[in-house]
Amino acid sequence: MKNRLLYIVACFMLLCGCSEDTIDGYVTGDLTGKVVKEGSNDPIENVRISTNPTSSTVFTNAEGEFVLENIPEGEYSVEARKDGLLTAFEGATVYPNSNVNVIFEMSVESASNRQPTTPDLIQPEDGQENVGLVTEFMWSSSDPENDELTYQLELRNDHDDQIQIFEEIKDTTFTVDNLSYGYKYFWQVKVSDSINPTVISEINTFYTEEAPANSIFFVRTVEGNNVIFNSDLNGQESRLTELGKNSFRPRKNSSINKVAYLSDVAGETQIFIMNPDGSQKKQVTSSIPVKTIDKDKVGYSWSEDGTYIIYPHLNKLYKTTIEGGGKVIIYDSEPGRYIMDVEESYDGRFILILETDVEGYNGEISILNSLGEKVETVINGFQGVLDGIDLSVNNRLILYSRDISGYENLASRQLNSKIFIYDRESGETYNLSESKPNGTNDMDARFAPNEASVIFVNGENTLDSQKNIIQVNIEEDLSVGNNDRNIVMERAFMPEWN
């Protein structure tokens, strides 16, 4: 009996010992994580972290991180809570002697947050006319909770439906420059408090001022493409052609108030026409494009009445109507000669023409009659580049540029190009570049509308140098003052003043 009692006690103690080992060895793991703001991933501090089933409760540090240590193994729902933010939940399974990591993305609680007021468009006024090309837009909006507001201004015009979007505006005023002459614009403002849906204003309209009658057209390189602009004499600029297209060599016809220009289409150079404000663009040529041995120096000419355009295609000179029809060859160069530039006289009696060899040298400026017959050779026999021709209204004065250095190479680089006027009556030649800075080129000259001055391009004689448009006044005796050189436009070339 005594032995039996001892056996029972021993078994009881053994059982008790087994139960104590299970409790002492109860396995746990760690739960770690991070809380960030939805969208920006910025860490959020002082977020209360708790679990269900209940374990311990902790708060995130400045880096948004937290640690729950020695949590019994099992499945948990982890809660992240902070005033002003939507409570977030994540599931997690804790394994023995291991670490599990969870990430919370918390968003702003917007249930009680009210949206901003609808923007009230103030300036320009709805329907306002003669708005300047540099315009300050003004509107008003507020937020009931004084949340930080961000605005977006949208502009659209009635010519090409191009939409300009200006984002991340923090103020209720914003200045836009480079609007276009004579356009009707539509504008609208959107406001966001980063909590509620975006609030959109009504759409207002305004009209920009008309293009001045006496304006200068020019080309500027923007994002790798040539883009055509115009400017009044006060320097107010307006972009006329698209940024994503290569457009150049503008030519104005005052009789029909149209501007012709060249633009690349599918690898060919075609003639287009448009209004002086850049509207109503229309392609003129197609199957027979403009083509020369140097596209940067190519020229073409309007007829005075604006009914047709004369242009070169290698060794042939074509005439086409502005509708693109009726193409005829009016001149064919001799073998090995190529047409670079052309200018028809105002009375239609003469055509001034510049021809070169295949390398762009051995230039010759000649005059053709209305039948396309060469009747006069004006300039020839010089080494170096010869280009940039123009003709006065009375057919007496011929404007051109010539590299007097005589330098010739395969790239047609010019070292010392100057502007000259040749007087057909006297046979005299006048140098308009006496005060040209050394190491630069004067080239691509055009008469001003009153022919009392000349505009041309000046730039250093290195490749890809900045070019500026210069104006010089000329006296009746065709002389020019030594310091009479005024910069009309910076970073610009291919001028036209008509």
456 and 367, same structural domain? Answer: yes
> In this predicted structure, what is the pLDDT of residue 214?
58
Does residue 182 share a domain with residue 78?
Answer: no
Q: Are residues 203 and 223 in the same domain?
A: no
Q: Which 3 state secondary structure label does DSSP give 268?
A: strand
User: What is the predicted pLDDT for the residue at 483?
Assistant: 62
Q: How many CB atoms lie within 10 A of CB 497?
A: 21
Kindly state the DSSP code that residue 478 receives in the 8-state scheme: S
Residue 436 falls inside a structural domain: yes
- 396 located within any domain: yes
239 in a structural domain: yes
Residues 216, 258, 344: CA angle, nearest 5 degrees: 85
Q: CATH number for the domain including 330?
A: 2.120.10.30
Q: Quick one: 194 and 296 in the same domain?
A: no
Torsion over CA: 409, 410, 415, 421 (sign) = positive
Amino acid in the structure at residue 186: F
164, 290: one domain: no
Residue 114 falls within a domain, yes or no? no
Distance between CA atoms of residues 18 and 22, nearest Å: 7
62 part of a folded domain: yes
pLDDT computed for residue 212 by the predictor: 67
Decide if 112 is inside a domain: no
Is residue 113 one of the residues assigned to a domain?
Answer: no
Sheet holding 173-176, edge to edge: 120-123, 135-140, 173-176
Q: Are 246 and 149 found together in one domain?
A: no
According to the model, what pLDDT value does residue 47 have?
95
User: Residue 452: which of 95, 171, 214, 242 has the closest Cα?
Assistant: 214
Domain residue limits at 170: 120-208
pLDDT on residue 412:
75
Confidence (pLDDT) at 265: 95
One domain, residues 140 and 70: no
If asked whether residues 440 and 485 sit together in one domain, one would say yes
Query: pLDDT at position 10, please?
Result: 46
> Residue 482's pLDDT is what?
58
Last residue of a domain, one of 157, 178, 208: 208
Widest Cα–Cα separation across the chain: 154
Boundary (domain end) residue, out of 71, 106, 141: 106
Among the candidates 208, 229, 264, a domain finishes at 208
Residue 133 CA, distance from chain mean position: 16
One digit per residue, the tens of pLDDT, for the chain of length 498 reads: 444 444 444 444 444 444 333 334 568 999 999 999 988 899 999 999 999 999 889 999 999 999 999 999 999 989 999 987 888 889 899 999 999 999 999 887 766 788 899 999 999 999 999 998 889 999 999 999 898 999 999 999 887 767 899 999 999 999 998 787 778 999 999 999 988 889 999 999 999 987 766 589 999 999 899 999 998 777 778 899 999 899 999 999 988 889 999 999 999 999 999 988 888 899 999 999 999 999 999 999 999 999 999 999 999 999 999 998 888 999 999 999 999 999 999 999 999 999 999 999 999 999 999 888 999 999 999 999 999 999 999 999 999 999 999 888 877 788 999 999 999 999 999 999 989 999 999 999 999 888 889 999 999 998 788 999 999 998 888 887 656 899 989 999 999 987
Instruction: List the alpha helices (DSSP H) in 68-172.
Output: none
Same-domain check for residues 193 and 247: no
Peptide bond into 212 cis (omega under 30): no
Q: Mark whether 332 and 432 lie in a shared domain.
A: yes
Is residue 483 domain-resident?
yes
CATH code for the domain of 37: 2.60.40.10
Count of structural domains within the chain? 3
Residue reference for tokens 């004499």: 233
Q: Are 35 and 172 contained in the same domain?
A: no
Q: How far apart are CA 51 and CA 70, in angstroms?
A: 13
Same domain, yes or no: 49 and 81? yes
CA 232 – CA 55 distance, rounded (Å): 77
* DSSP codes of every residue in 442-471: EEEEEE-TTSSEEEEEEEESSTT--EEEEE
